[in-house]
Amino acid sequence: MTHIAVLGAGVVGVTTAWYLRQAGFEVTVIERESAPAMQTSFANGGQISVSHATPWANPATPLKAFKWLMQEDAPLLYRLRADPEQLKWGWQFLQQCTAKHADDNLVQMVHLGLYSRSALQQLRAETGIEYEQQTRGIMHFYTGQAEFDSAIAPTKRMQDLGCERYVIDIDTAVNLEPALYPIAHKLVGATYTSEDESGNAHLFSQRLAKLCADSGVKFLYDTDIVSLNLKSSTKDGSNTPHIDHITIKPNHEKSESFSADSYVMALGSYSVQLAKPLGIHLPIFPAKGYSATYQVNPNNPNLAPFVSMIDDEFKLVMSRLDDKLRVAGTAEFNGYNLDLNPTRCQAITRRISQLFPKGILLDSVKYWTGLRPMTPSNVPLIGQAHLGTVTHGSQNQSATFDNLWLNTGHGTLGWTHSCGSAKAISLLMQGQKPEVDFAFVGV
């Protein structure tokens, strides 16, 4: 039986392990934390949002980012640092901010999002997995006219691509989500995607990991991945890059070798550091995202939304998770720093207190931050690794690894795209073509 090692046990790594095991592979997952989904997947926004596919890199972003440059609580904060990798990524990001690139990237993300949402729904039907899911759709709401006007064209474009996102009037929005009634006078418009969903990504990952283990997947927790090591030569004399073994450090003790037939890199922002010594350059930079989790007011539970919401003006998403409301968003480009910035935390609470002040208990808040692995295009890197710079759809057939695969760079949509990218990578590793129009790497 072919043995595959999945590197990383976030939501992307766990779903990858699931689909590979279902395909009949022997699977080992290696994770430095003590349990699944303890980092970027731990307290994210909770949305399965095909409709949230407008790339961060679009023509409107550079001017907004410039205005926000010295604003500590800005939705997007790019901290200028003496970091060549950050500067290089920033230049690549600006190159993606043209109308053509933004449209091309939106198409990629809608295609993958529709495929992934369908895969999640099928997985849920087959396994009965529960993860505080809500299937009430996702609503984008707008309190600023300019922001609403700028959403019309992308909404129509998504409709053309098969995503059922529609512009709705304020009365319809309030009927769909009565918690909006107290602020209805502040709304200028909304869009609604009935098929989108929400749920607890951390809970999903942990319960799916249990199903994986029950089916025979082995998990190595508390294990650092030190390096990926190339084979010095091949029997046939070819120059095809090949991973001979990896070096791991279980329980932070003595390093040892670990071998499998193939490897899938699902390490999010930390993929870059392991890939670089191999001659693989991944254009991924961490975007620090924040979340705040509030206890729903037990005396007024209906004044907190059940429909998952997106506040586009403030770049915040909101999901009802049982008796809690998760609010997440913003992006801070500040390297691998994981310190909580009180100003940015308070900005989330300030906004949510304006929207649903009686629906939540503000003093119950728990803040969290995690590093989203952002590519300049916002499109993830899924497929077979190759030497040089890797972008979605890139190929280098003369130097493509025969046993190293990528499932990384999902940015803000890791939970949304996890099942689809995992299902796709499983099919690709079986020599099959996934039924989705997406620019896979090295294929």
Condensed to tens digits (0 to 9), the pLDDT of residues 140-184 reads 999 999 999 999 999 999 999 999 999 999 999 999 999 999 999
| pLDDT at res. 238 | 65
**Is the model's pLDDT at 189 over the cut of 80?**
yes
How many percent of the chain have pLDDT more than 90?
87
For residue 215, the 8-state DSSP code is T
| pLDDT at res. 188 | 97
| pLDDT at res. 32 | 96
| pLDDT at res. 435 | 97
CA dihedral 66, 67, 71, 75 (to 10 degrees): -80
**Is the model's pLDDT at 331 over the cut of 90?**
no
Class of domain 48-196+285-374: alpha beta
SS3 175: helix
**Is the model's pLDDT at 443 over the cut of 90?**
no
| pLDDT at res. 77 | 79
| pLDDT at res. 237 | 55
The yes or no reply on domain 3-41+203-281+376-429 and CATH 3.50.50.60 is yes
Mean pLDDT, residues 345-369: 96
Structure-model confidence comparison of residues 83 and 99, the more confident one: 99
**Cα dist. 263→7, 36, 377, 381, 427 in Å?**
7, 18, 25, 15, 15
Return all residues near 125 (Cβ < 8 A) that are at least 6 apart.
none
**Is the model's pLDDT at 309 over the cut of 60?**
yes
Condensed to tens digits (0 to 9), the pLDDT of residues 211-247 reads 999 999 999 999 999 999 998 755 455 689 999 999 9
How many percent of the chain have pLDDT more than 70?
98
| pLDDT at res. 321 | 97
Sheet holding 256-258, edge to edge: 223-230, 243-250, 256-258
Q: Give the DSSP H/E element, type plus range, for residue 263.
A: strand 262-265
Kindly write down the DSSP assignment for every residue of 311-352, as one continuous string: ETTTTEEEEEETTEEEEEEEEEEBTB-----HHHHHHHHHHH
Mean pLDDT, residues 78-97: 87
Mean pLDDT, residues 427-440: 98
Q: Indicate the range of 81-95, 255-269, 346-360 predicted with least confidence.
A: 81-95
**Is the model's pLDDT at 373 over the cut of 90?**
yes
| pLDDT at res. 219 | 98
CB 158 within 8 A of CB 53: yes
Q: Where are the domains of the chain?
A: 3-41+203-281+376-429, 48-196+285-374
Mean pLDDT, residues 27-32: 98
Structure-model confidence comparison of residues 192 and 237, the more confident one: 192
Mean pLDDT of the chain: 94
Condensed to tens digits (0 to 9), the pLDDT of residues 98-147 reads 999 999 999 999 999 999 999 999 999 999 999 999 999 999 999 999 99
Q: How confident is the model at residue 69 (pLDDT cuts 50, 70, 90)?
A: low
